[in-house]
Amino acid sequence: MPRHSQYKVGTIIGDKAYSVQCIVDAPKYSDYLPTVQKMIDSLVIYQ
């Protein structure tokens, strides 16, 4: 069983790439996921 779980998301806007990665202990992944999703949803990229 893996010790860590990852959540990765990314996008490309124009000529720039943006990514967010979260690595947590596997047993706590579901505990952190809602917070990580809220953080990602709150990101704003200004051009």
How far apart (Å, rounded) are the C-alpha atoms in residues 46 and 31?
A: 30
Cα dist. 9→13, 32, 44 in Å? 14, 15, 14
pLDDT at 47: 80
**Confidence category of residue 1, pLDDT binned at 50, 70, 90:** low
Q: What is the pTM of this model?
A: 0.72
Residue 45, domain member (yes or no): no
Residue 41, domain member (yes or no): no
First to last CA, the chain: 42
7-28 pLDDT, tens digit each:
999 999 999 999 999 999 999 9
Determine the structural domain holding residue 8 and report its residue range.
4-36
Residue 25, domain member (yes or no): yes
The tokens for 12 are 């490309």
On the question of pLDDT at 5 being above 80, the answer is: yes
Number of domains in the chain: 1
Q: What is the mean pLDDT of the chain?
A: 93
Give the largest Cα separation in the chain, rounded. 42
